[in-house]
C-alpha cells in the first residue's frame, strides 16, 4: 500500500483525485489513475516515522534502517540552511523506485507558524522547463512537431527574426538567441495575469535576438515561454491541459500544479526574500507569463516520482530520452559544447547526474537523477537564493548511492 507517499484520507480524497487545487477538474481517466494510486497500485514507499527530534520538523517519511546514515548526513547539510536563515525546506529521496526519505523543516508560513510537511507545495522555478521537455518529447514522438522546423510553422504570429531561424531544438537547448530577463530584473516581477501563454509573448516578442540562432548558449526562460506557446499551437491543446494530460496525470504527480495567484491552492508555501539580514515577504508576482519557464508548484516527493517516471515508466522512448539528455545538434551539424540538453542539465558532464536547478521569486529548488544508481533527489525552499553558497546540497543524492 502507498498510504504514506501522499497521506490521503477519506475527507480529502475527492479533492485530491478529482480536482487539482486551483485547476479544472481532471478527466475521468486521470481520476481513475489517481484512485489506483491510492488503492496501492504504485511504487512501494517507506514506513512513516514520528516527528523528528530536531526542532521545526514535521511529517517524516523515512526508511526503517538501511539509509539512516545517509539521512543523518543529509540532515546536517539542511540544518546548515536552517541556521543560515531558510524559512522552510523540504526534501525527498528515492532509490530504485521507492521513496526512502521525505521530510519538512521549518515553516511554510512564518507569520502563522505553519510547519513544512511532505505535502507543502513550493515554487520549483526552472525545473518547470524539465517537465515541459517531456510534453515536447511526446509531441515529437507522435510526429506533431519537428524540432528543426521554423517555429512560425506552428506559431505564424511570432515575428521572424533578422538573425536567423528559431526552432524548437534551439529553444529547448537555449541556443535560439532569445533574451532572458532584463538586467534590472524588472520583468521577473510581473504582476499582470495572462490567461493564455501566447498572450505572454508580448513581453519580448518584438525584441531582437541576442545572437544568431545556434551561435551561442544563452540561458533564457523566455525561450521556454515561446516553446510552450508553440506546443500549444501545434497540439491544439492549451498548455496547462497538455501538461496535465501528458505529464502530470500519467506520472501521478497530484501535488504539481501551476502557480495561479488568484486560486486557492492547498498547502502552498508562502514565498520569502531577504533584505540584508531581515526576512521579508517576497514581492507579489504573477507567474502566468512564464509557466513553462518557471511557473509550477510541486513537492520533493512529486519530483522523485517525476524522475522515476521519466526514466522507468516508458512515458517516452529511450532514444528520445537520450536526445533530451544530450547536447543539441546545431544547424551546422556540429554538436554543441555544453552540459545542457533539451531541458536537462548534465550536472557533472559525465552522465552520472541529470536534472535541473530552479530559482524563482520566493523559491529555490534542486532536482537530480542518477539513472545508473537509481537515485532521485528533490530539494526545495521558500526563499529566493536559499541554496547560494551551499554546494554540499548537490551531494545529498550521492549519500544514497550504494
Q: What is the pLDDT of residue 351?
A: 96
* pTM assigned to the model: 0.86
Residue whose C-alpha is closest to residue 168's, from 137, 130, 209, 198: 137
Q: What is the pLDDT of residue 21?
A: 34
Residue whose C-alpha is closest to residue 286's, from 267, 261, 268, 305: 261
Phi-psi region at 349: left, alpha or beta (left = phi > 0; alpha = psi -120 to 50):
left
Q: What is the pLDDT of residue 63?
A: 62
Q: What is the pLDDT of residue 64?
A: 56
Q: What is the pLDDT of residue 23?
A: 38
Dist CA 301 CA 306 (whole Å): 9
pLDDT tens for the chain, residues 1 to 402: 233 333 322 223 222 322 333 333 334 444 444 444 333 333 333 332 222 333 344 457 766 578 999 999 999 999 999 999 999 999 999 999 999 999 999 999 999 999 999 999 999 999 999 999 999 999 999 999 999 999 999 999 999 999 999 999 999 999 999 999 998 888 889 999 999 999 999 999 999 999 999 999 999 999 999 999 999 999 999 999 999 999 999 999 999 999 999 999 999 999 999 999 999 999 999 999 999 999 999 999 999 999 999 999 999 999 999 999 999 999 999 999 999 999 999 999 999 999 999 999 999 999 999 999 999 999 999 999 999 999 899 999 999 998
300-339 burial: b if 16+ Cβ within 10 Å, else e: bbbbbbbbbbbbeeebbeeebbebbbbbbbbbeeeebebe
Q: Which residues contact 67 (CB under 8 A, 6 or more apart)?
A: 93, 95, 100, 101, 400
Domains, the chain, with CATH or none: 3-133+238-400 (3.40.710.10), 134-235 (no CATH)
Dist CA 251 CA 242 (whole Å): 13
Do residues 54 and 274 touch, judged by C-beta distance below 8 A?
no
Q: What is the pLDDT of residue 25?
A: 38
Residue whose C-alpha is closest to residue 300's, from 109, 50, 40, 60: 60
Dist CA 116 CA 375 (whole Å): 23
Dist CA 242 CA 224 (whole Å): 15
Q: Which residues contact 56 (CB under 8 A, 6 or more apart)?
A: 82, 105, 106, 107, 115
Dist CA 286 CA 261 (whole Å): 6
Q: Which residues contact 301 (CB under 8 A, 6 or more apart)?
A: 5, 6, 61, 92, 99, 102, 118, 119, 255, 378
List residues bridging with 123 in a β-sheet: 297
Dist CA 210 CA 215 (whole Å): 10
Q: How far apart are the first and last CA of the chain?
A: 25
The angle that helices 127-141 and 318-325 make with each other, rounded to 10 degrees, is: 140
Dist CA 99 CA 61 (whole Å): 8
List residues bridging with 104 in a β-sheet: 58, 90
Amino acid at each position: 500500500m502507498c498510504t504514506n507517499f501522499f497521506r490521503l484520507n477519506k475527507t480529502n480524497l475527492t479533492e485530491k483525485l478529482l480536482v487539482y487545487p486551483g485547476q479544472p477538474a481532471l478527466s475521468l481517466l486521470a481520476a481513475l489513475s489517481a484512485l489506483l494510486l491510492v488503492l496501492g497500485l504504485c511504487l512501494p514507499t517507506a514506513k512513516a516515522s514520528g516527528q523528528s527530534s530536531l526542532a521545526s520538523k514535521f511529517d517524516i517519511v523515512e526508511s526503517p534502517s538501511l539509509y539512516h546514515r545517509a539521512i543523518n548526513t543529509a540532515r546536517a547539510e539542511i540544518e546548515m540552511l536552517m541556521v543560515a536563515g531558510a524559512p522552510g525546506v523540504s526534501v525527498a529521496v528515492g532509490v530504485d523506485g521507492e521513496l526512502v526519505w521525505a521530510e519538512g523543516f521549518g515553516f511554510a508560513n512564518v507569520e502563522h507558524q505553519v510547519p513544512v510537511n511532505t505535502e507543502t507545495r513550493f515554487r520549483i522555478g526552472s525545473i518547470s522547463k524539465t517537465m515541459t521537455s517531456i510534453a515536447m518529447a511526446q509531441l515529437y514522438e507522435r510526429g506533431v512537431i519537428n524540432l528543426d522546423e521554423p517555429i512560425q510553422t506552428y506559431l505564424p504570429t511570432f515575428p521572424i527574426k533578422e538573425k536567423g531561424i528559431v526552432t524548437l531544438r534551439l529553444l529547448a537547448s537555449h541556443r535560439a538567441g532569445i533574451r532572458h530577463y532584463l538586467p534590472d530584473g524588472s520583468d521577473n516581477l510581473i504582476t499582470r495575469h495572462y490567461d493564455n501563454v501566447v498572450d505572454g509573448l508580448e513581453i519580448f516578442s518584438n525584441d531582437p535576438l541576442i545572437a544568431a540562432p545556434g551561435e551561442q548558449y544563452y540561458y533564457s526562460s523566455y525561450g521556454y515561454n515561446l516553446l510552450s506557446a508553440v506546443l500549444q499551437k501545434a497540439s491544439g491543446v492549451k498548455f496547462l491541459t497538455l501538461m496535465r494530460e501528458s505529464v502530470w496525470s500519467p506520472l501521478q504527480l497530484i501535488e504539481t500544479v501551476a502557480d495561479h495567484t488568484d486560486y486557492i491552492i492547498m498547502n502552498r508555501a508562502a514565498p520569502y526574500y531577504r533584505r540584508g539580514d531581515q526576512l521579508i515577504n517576497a514581492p507579489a508576482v504573477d507567474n502566468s507569463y512564464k509557466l513553462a519557464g518557471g511557473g509550477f508548484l510541486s513537492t520533493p516527493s512529486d519530483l522523485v516520482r517525476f524522475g522515476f517516471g521519466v526514466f522507468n515508466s516508458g512515458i517516452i522512448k529511450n532514444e528520445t530520452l537520450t536526445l533530451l539528455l544530450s547536447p543539441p545538434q546545431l544547424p551546422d551539424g556540429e554538436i554543441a559544447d555544453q552540459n545542457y540538453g533539451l531541458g536537462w542539465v548534465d550536472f557533472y558532464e559525465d552522465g552520472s547526474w541529470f536534472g535541473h536547478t530552479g530559482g524563482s521569486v520566493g523559491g529555490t529548488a534542486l532536482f537530480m537523477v542518477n539513472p545508473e544508481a537509481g537515485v532521485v533527489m528533490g530539494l526545495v525552499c521558500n526563499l529566493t537564493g536559499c541554496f547560494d553558497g551551499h554546494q554540499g546540497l548537490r551531494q545529498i543524492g550521492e549519500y544514497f548511492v550504494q
